[in-house]
Amino acid sequence: MKCRKCGERASIELRRHNAAFCAPDFLDFFRRQVREAIRKHRMFEADEAVLVAVSGGKDSLALWDVLIDEGSRTTGLYLDLGIFDYSVESKAKCERFAAARGVPLIVSTVAEEVGAPVPVIKEVTRRPPCSGCGLSKRYLMNRVALEHGFPVVATGHNLDDEAATLFGSVMHWQTDALPRQSPALAATHPKLVRRVKPLYRLSERETAAFAFLRKIDYIVEECPFAKGATSIAHKEILNRMEEASPGAKHNFLFGFLDKARPAFERAEAVTLNECARCGQVTTGTLCAFCKLADQVKRLGGGLRPSSDGRRAP
Ligand code: Q46
Ligand code: ZN
């Protein structure tokens, strides 16, 4: 197999593009895809400060790596979810990455902001862990960005993540979620920042290859709560389809974005208010984050979370 660009021996084959690349040309291909995503969806301008949400995993650190090399003004944001050793290790990976590249990193701790870490929130709410976790992550990303004056937050969602989310939304015909599925969500209120996903054109396998070739030290283990999540089942189904028909995931996601998404965009805009407690954007009176914090305070009162996420006696 030869590299499509230089004709030398290829080290990675991309079946969905019907192409193969040597290592340097693959890195070049990867960065071009990120540039194309940013340009096509006008994610941010060259002089804008970008807050990059990093989890310590390969995708978000690969994204940060590309943006630093592209000369973007980036700051990392690590959200400490308090999920046992997973959080301790992933935080250390982000801190080491930031120190090695000489870039700033902001750390925000869910246990301090909500009143308990994710494992305790799960018990108090009796809901799947990803529910309180996802809500807290979205809220804190936006609030931290606003507090520090960032107009945009970039996340490391890749093609596989986006295709799996779309698959889940379609399976349940979540017509509210479909218009929000986009590589770039505009700020529709002065207290909402833009949210962008510059890796949406790249598959999980491609981000793994990029992280490996760039020698990025990332956390390989998944969050312990990821097991059994429906998104994993959806990814497996899509992987089987991809195996049988290379490009299936790409066609599914890109076909939706190009042809179907506009049909789901709501004619009438939702009314956005500011939360009576924290001032962040909500469709009701009190935002979901403040309600969650109240619930944790009420039902989890007396539970003092320790720094590793376990309950202290
Ligand atoms: S939502 Fe769920 Fe993730 Fe939070 S609890 Fe873990 S798996 S970290 S992407
Ligand atoms: Zn609120």
Report the atom number in ligand 1 closest to the C-alpha of 226.
Answer: 7
Average model confidence (pLDDT) across the chain = 93
Task: Report the alpha-carbon distance of residue 132 to residue 125 in Å, rounded.
Answer: 8
Residue 134 CB–ligand 1 contact under 6 Å: yes
Find how far residue 110's CA is from the centre of its chain.
17
Within a 10 A sphere around the Cβ of 95, how many other Cβ atoms?
Answer: 15
Q: How far is CA 300 from CA 126, 303, 305, 311, 312, in A?
A: 12, 6, 10, 10, 12
Structure tokens at 203: 């598959």
Residue 303 has pLDDT above 60, yes or no: no
Kindly report the pTM of this predicted structure: 0.93
How remote is the CA of residue 174 from the centroid of ligand 1, in Å? 20
pLDDT tens-digit profile of 107-128? Answer: 999 999 999 999 999 999 999 9
pLDDT tens-digit profile of 82-110? Answer: 999 999 999 999 999 999 999 999 999 99
Return the best residue to mutate from 80, 81, 94, 138 for the ligand 1 pocket (most ligand atoms within 8 A of CB): 81
Return the best residue to mutate from 60, 133, 139 for the ligand 1 pocket (most ligand atoms within 8 A of CB): 133
Predicted pLDDT at 176: 87
CB proximity list for 169: less than 8 A, separation 6 or greater: 177, 178, 181
Share of the chain above pLDDT 70, in %: 95
* CATH architecture, range 23-267: 3-Layer(aba) Sandwich (3.40)
Report the atom number in ligand 1 closest to the C-alpha of 130.
Answer: 2
C-alpha angle 65/71/73, rounded to 5°? 90
Find how far residue 255's CA is from the centre of its chain.
21
Residue 141 has pLDDT above 90, yes or no: yes
How remote is the CA of residue 59 from the centroid of ligand 2, in Å? 30
Residue 310 has pLDDT above 90, yes or no: no
For tokens 């195996």, the residue is 243
Residue 164 CB–ligand 1 contact under 6 Å: no
**Residues 16 and 7 sit within 8 Å (Cβ to Cβ):** no
- Give 51's strand partners: 75, 153
Closest Cα to atom 2, ligand 1: which residue?
130
**Residues 181 and 165 sit within 8 Å (Cβ to Cβ):** yes
Task: Please give the average per-residue pLDDT across 38-63, as a whole number.
Answer: 97
Report the atom number in ligand 1 closest to the C-alpha of 224.
Answer: 6
Predicted pLDDT at 247: 95
Residue 57 CB–ligand 1 contact under 6 Å: no
Task: Report the alpha-carbon distance of residue 282 to residue 107 in Å, rounded.
Answer: 24
